Amino acid sequence: MIQTTIMLVVFAALFTGSFDARADSENPFGFETNKHPLEYDYCKKEPGILRGHGYTCSSAPRSHPDLEVYKLQFVEDVGLCLIVGRRFLNADNLKINLGNFKSQIASKYGPPTAGWKQRLFPFEFPNKYAWDPKAGFKGLGDVKAIRLMLDIVADNLMDAADNDYEIVATVHFWLVTIDACQKKIAEKANNAF
């Protein structure tokens, strides 16, 4: 009798979509919206990043072969807000083409809604693409917005001018929880005063 009741409750929950289930199996790199990053063996807390809610992961449930590290923003009582995949580029791996990432993302989420071409020392090429809900991106699963970019990482502008910099390819996935996360972070900040 108890087993039958449990099975009926589980079946009802699956049928009605309760248990606050989200499209976790479809999240980028397989990170689950409601799973705390510390539940993954390869993630650790990163104090000071992502407004104090940051985690760095050396791998992912579904790792991308061209990405080296994943940054997550997770807010208690809300869940996962942001997933960032990163790859530092140098002379050996600079051949990684941003267009390949763009094509891979577009195959699942559709074409980008915007693109920019900016000069990156010493290159000039398209280096930013966005899938923006304000420009018509409808999202998919828990993904609300996406930004793919190349950027310069330097200790200061003088280092970048002296060619002491790294280029990093990053892809940001903002989840549907981002607004609730930002609200919770703002409340915490307001309560600090």
Domain count, the chain: 1
Per-residue model confidence as pLDDT tens digits over 130-163: 999 999 999 998 999 999 988 777 665 554 555 6
Give residue 127's pLDDT: 75
d(CA 106, CA 83): 17
Residue 174 included in any domain: yes
Give residue 91's pLDDT: 60
Give residue 5's pLDDT: 39
d(CA 108, CA 103): 9
Write out the residue range of the structural domain in which residue 29 sits: 23-191
Give residue 151's pLDDT: 77
Give residue 125's pLDDT: 53
Residue 77 included in any domain: yes
Give the other-Cβ count within 10 Å of 83's Cβ: 26
Name the stretches of the chain with pLDDT < 70.
1-25, 91-97, 118-126, 154-165
Residue 187 included in any domain: yes
Give residue 120's pLDDT: 59
Give residue 100's pLDDT: 86
Q: What is the pTM of this model?
A: 0.79
Residue 2 included in any domain: no
